[in-house]
Amino acid sequence: MGSRRRGRELALQMLYQHELSGATVEGIAASFDDLLHVPEMTRSFAVNLARGVEERVNEIDAVLAGQADHWRIDRMAAVDRNILRIAMYELMFLPETPVAVVIDEAVEVAKRFGSERSSQFVNGVLDGYVHRPGDEAEP
C-alpha cells in the first residue's frame, strides 16, 4: 500500500474519532499510536488532510449536500461521510492531486473501511461533483 493511501486511511480514522469524541485533530494526532509508527511523510500527509477537513468542514459539507441527492450529510454513515470529506477537501483545495487519483483512492478506502455499498456511493457522489453540469473540470 502506498504512503498516500495509508495517509488517507489514517486521516479517516482521525476524523472518525474527532466526530465521535469531539477532540481536536491535533489532540488525536498527538496520541494516535498508528500515526506514530509511520514514516514522517505519511504522518504529515494524514495530519494535513485531517486538519484541512476539520478547518473547512462547513464548506465541504455545503458542496457535499448539493451532490448527495436524497442524502442529508448527518444521515450518511460516518465512515462514508468522512471519506467523502477527505476526497472533497483534496478536490477543492489540493489541485496538485489528479482528480482520477482522488476518486480512485476514496473508492479503495471505502472498500476497506465502509459497508458493502460504500464504494459505489462514494464513487457516485464524487463523480457527480467532477461532472456537474456546466463545469469544465477534467477527471
User: In terms of pTM, does the model score above 0.85?
Assistant: yes
87: left (phi over 0), alpha (psi -120 to 50) or beta: alpha
Q: Classify residue 137: in a domain, yes or no.
A: no
CATH number at residue 24: 1.10.940.10
In a domain, 138, yes or no: no
**pLDDT score of 135:** 55
Cα separation, 89 vs 95, whole angstroms: 10
pLDDT in tens, the chain (139 residues): 678 999 999 999 999 999 999 999 999 999 898 888 899 999 999 999 999 999 999 999 999 988 876 778 888 999 999 999 999 999 999 999 999 999 999 999 999 999 999 999 999 999 989 987 765 444 4
End-to-end CA distance of the chain: 23
Domain-located, residue 136 = no
**Of 10, 87, 11, 7, nearest in space to 41 by CA:** 7
Check residue 67 and give its pLDDT: 81
Domain that holds residue 90: 3-130
Instruction: Find the helix or strand (DSSP H, E) in which 92 lies.
Output: helix 78-93
Output the nine-digit C-alpha cell for 73.
450529510
The whole-number pLDDT of residue 2 equals 79
User: Is residue 135 domain-resident?
Assistant: no
Answer whether residue 118 is part of any domain: yes
pLDDT value of position 35: 86
